[in-house]
Chain A
Amino acid sequence: MAGIVGYGVHVPRYRIKVEEIAKVWNDDPESIKKGLNITEKSVPGIDEDAATIAVEAARRAVDHSGINANEIGALYVGSESHPYAVKPTSTIVSQAIRTGHKLTAADLEFACKAGTAGIQMCAGLVDSKMIKYGMAIGSDTSQGRPSDALEYTASAGGGAFIIGSDKSEQIAEILKTTSYTSDTPDFWRREGAAFPSHGGRFTGEPAYFKHITNATKQLFEMTGFKASDFNYAVFHQPNGKFPIVVSKALGFEEKQIKDGLLTPVIGNTYSGASMLGLAAVLDIAKPNEKILLTSFGSGAGSDSFAIEVKDKIDEKRGKLTKVSDIINTRKIYIDYSTYLKNRGGIKKR
């Protein structure tokens, strides 16, 4: 079946600490840090958006894979913060990585899971031999209304995965994928609205937990695998707490999820979150190890994947820019006013 030929990520250097946001809204930072299991989040620079993040991640993915970008036949960018309402981010990325023009491309939106939906679309296209390689990107500069709980988590980052069917090139094979989808009004942003709205507690049980649990159980039934068969598990991470809770309920231990849990230090990168978590695990995974990935997008749906790491992963590590190198190198801490400026939150008229 289809597999991962290469991957790359990008996270902006800017960070804002929970304490800095809490100070503005008279919240108790310790309570927020404990409740959400988060210490700081990434913030885009004033010249960064979902397209620039997607391009940086895509370029690293091409470098890592060793393929000619001209052979990419499909390019999907999942985001809920595409810079244009009409004009694709995917065409900007294709121009910036020089895919050539014999290509199908589209922008996807499914809250936080549009990136993994892109992986599924690429997998279908490469398995049916319609294309040689497909690239799926999840990239966001997510929005959180000032003083809303989301402001502590909504961050920026992205991941790009190149999918191909030639097993000799794969660093990891997608053994099986399945999805669970329902019409659930847990989180939304209307056309033209600057910030999303959400259903408070409703975002938990009937949305995140129900969809992740059902998609993962579907995958278990389809594959015969159980939680203990996986070396690593990555779940969508809107905060640092939900993935820990859902993983325990599904029978996973903390050691299986800790390497793919990045939200406590970079926040929720929305469409980038599951992709970044998977990349962080691939950075350290060994051949024959198994990875479970289950994303979640509000609205709502989950895509679940059983992935097996292949020998090629060690050979390609020399060309890899690791997630840890990107998120830990030369972080720039900013205050709340700079954060607002970078996020376009200061209206001059």
Chain B
Amino acid sequence: MEKASASAWRKFNARYNMIGNVCKTCNTKYFPPRIVCKNCGRNTKMEEYQFSGKGEIFSFTKIHVPSEAFKESAPYVIGVIKLEEGPMIEGHIVDSGKEPQIGAKVKQVFRRMYTDGEEGLITYHFKFELI
């Protein structure tokens, strides 16, 4: 559970909008964003890059025994999503009236991820929904 508001705030662009970055030297796209390109090292020239939020399910699993933070959401689905632009990331796949399948197309949606108790911050984050 994330209690520090500053660390959450620094990640809003990535968490709300799937903004990663691209190395202009080799055109490799990264999400989440990296400071140094793994291909270019010192020659890294990073720029902000807006991901489309679309991709397909590479793999998934249904969580029945969750951590405390996600207890009320269980059972829920976590997937490895291959984004249209290349990177593979992990993300929640929301219930959308359709069973997830490997290869199924998904798009990002905006949802609550967790809440810090009754009085703390609410963390919002992208999740994925089957198209």
Contact = CB atoms under 8 A, between A and B. Distances in A.
A341 B113 CA distance: 16
B73 A47 contact: yes
B82 interface: no
A51 B124 contact: yes
A52 B110 contact: yes
Contacts, number: 48
B119 to A, nearest CB: 10
Interface in A276-327: none
Nearest to A96: B16
A236 interface: no
A98 interface: yes
A148 interface: no
Contact of A83 (B97, B98, B122): B122
Interface string B61-96: 000000000001100000000000000000000111
A47 B111 contact: yes
A13 B72 CA distance: 18
A341 B75 CA distance: 13
Given A51-B124, A95-B12, A13 B96 contact: yes
Contacts of A245: none
B59 interface: no
A80 interface: no
A249 interface: no
B112 A47 contact: yes
Interface string B93-111: 0111110000000000111
A52 B112 contact: yes
A82 to B, nearest CB: 11
A98 B110 CA distance: 13
Given A13-B97, A45-B95, A46-B72, A98 B112 contact: no
A341 to B, nearest CB: 7
A47 B16 contact: no
Given A49-B112, A51-B124, A98-B17, A331 B72 contact: no
Contacts of A331: 97
Interface residues of A, number: 21
B29 interface: no
A52 B17 CA distance: 13
Nearest to B127: A47
A96 B124 contact: yes
Interface string B110-123: 11110000000010
A55 interface: yes
Interface string A41-79: 000011111011001100100000000000000000000
Contact of A96 (B73, B95, B110, B127): B110
Contacts of A13: 95-97
Nearest to B113: A47
A56 B110 contact: yes
A332 B98 CA distance: 10
Which 5 pairs from chain A and chain B are nearest by CB?
A: A330-B97, A47-B111, A55-B110, A47-B112, A96-B16
Interface of B: 12, 16-17, 72-73, 94-98, 109-113, 122, 124, 127
24 contacts: A13-B96, A13-B97, A45-B94, A46-B72, A47-B73, A47-B112, A47-B113, A47-B127, A48-B111, A49-B112, A49-B122, A51-B122, A52-B111, A55-B110, A56-B109, A56-B110, A59-B110, A83-B122, A84-B122, A92-B124, A95-B12, A330-B98, A331-B97, A332-B97
Given A55-B124, A84-B122, A341-B72, 5 more contacts: A51-B122, A52-B111, A95-B12, A332-B95, A332-B97
